[in-house]
Chain A
Amino acid sequence: MATGSPGTLVRDLQGALGAAHVLHLPEDLIVYEYDATIERALPDVVVFPATTAEVAACVRIALDHDVPVVPRGSGTGLSGGAVPVRGGVLVVLTRMNRILEVDATDRVAVVQPGVINLALQEAAAPLGLTYAPDPSSQRVCTIGGNIANNSGGPHTLAHGSTVNHVLALEVVLPDARVVRLGSRVPDAPGVDLRGLLVGSEGTLGIVTEATLRLVRQQPAVRTLLAIFESVEDASNAVSETIRRGVIPVAMEMLDQEIIRIVEPRIRAGYPMDAGAALLIEVEGVAEGVALDAAVVEAACHAAGAREVRSAEEASERERLWEGRKAAIGAIGAAAPAFYLLDGVVPRTKLPEVMAQVMELSRAAGFRCANVFHAGDGNLHPNIMFDPAEPRATERVLELGEAIMRVCVDAGGAITGEHGVGLEKRSYMEWVFTPADLAAQHAVRDAFGSTDRFNPCKVLPGGHGCASGHMKEISPHLVEGAYV
């Protein structure tokens, strides 16, 4: 797709950034062909800009050479968003990793996109503040990636996704123009382009600086672990809790399969014979927390909980959370490969949808482990398989598709927090009409990014893109790959 000689592209980029910050040899490029999905595609060149001006220069050079631009942070995305499917310039933002300001008075942080999510939390903590979005990959994922994917996490239930915590952005647009959107103070007048940029998966621009809202750490926090005989009972406990007027800050479900995988490895204290476990957190003023915890406990018992444990000590709470945060990865050790889904359904549909997920998996002959944000109705079925078995990968993808159908039919959506990326582009047609999609394409056209800025992501179609259907990708699956 690229015109002009790649040699001059590399030379121009080296001129802008210095040779040390431009990679172009095959043995260097190969480690920039992936994110945390199965998708693989080599960039033509990888650049490590250190400033907004350098990012703009890279975008400008790519524009001049008419090659795609794809932004990348730590490469932990779960939808193929950072995979340069049409080659081009991969803009890696890990060098832009400075926390520029943490202002406790205004409860605001200003960061570069390469800052690690947890690093910001650690910087805010001594001031009694926190950055609320906490994806499970927070030890490694970058704020830029969080913004691109509008990342969630267990605490989204109460605190909302990334978009609710982004006040302002500095963005390099596809035409290399640098703009500032939003303001340090919320609800800036004017059209909210900030809200549009968040979650646009790097297709509308590259964020080079973000002003983020910090929230005060709550005076009291309690984590409860409720043990159930079945996922259905646990799902009912979620609705029962909310019916009783309490919205915990997190309600995380682990099913039996995942408990049996995680517990021996992490030793978080989940009973091995549990049918399902709910990890619930409440926070606020001490009296309120005690009351909310009592309501949660009663709701769980009413829904048939076998046992409800409560932890207030930070170390105990951390241990309970440890198992949750390491769960997805632990599946990697339990099966040769697995396919992680990210569907979302109305919370009240959880019991029936989960029953269908399990039935479909059984019928297809695969083990399926579930660990997910029950309070948000955000499912993460993990289908375990051995790619060495005949047609296994193909059958897994079919099963994944069937599960996503169930989610959509239940009034849900195809991604709650991982993003559409490359993987789920074709499913967009299940959720949106051609007119809906035309409006989204129109946004892309308005930003001048069509086919050049992170091409073949989010929206179906696009010049030079495969149709994006998982089934068509499957022949390229690497053996043993995690999907």
Chain B
Amino acid sequence: MAGFDIDRVAYLARLNLTDEERALFGGQLETIVNYVDAIARLDTDGLEPTLHGHRVNNIFREDVPVTGLDPEQALANAPARIDNEFKMPRVVE
């Protein structure tokens, strides 16, 4: 296995790691990745992927309104709010 870059992966996953975690997980994940690499031995050419637990298509919902949450309920769990919005640090675009 080549190319397991723990810093890049941690950045993509938005997980800050301590130096200890970086060392510990880096080593463990290399071992795990090497282990799951076993599937590279199989010939999978021409095989369809199995993406779900069953193969039934076209499962829809009708376009009918369902009562949702009022703003107080919606914001009840918010760690921080400003008026009736969820508060975030200022986002720079």
Q: Do A and B come from one complex?
A: no
Q: Which residues of B contact A (CB under 8 A)?
A: none
Q: Which residues of A contact B (CB under 8 A)?
A: none
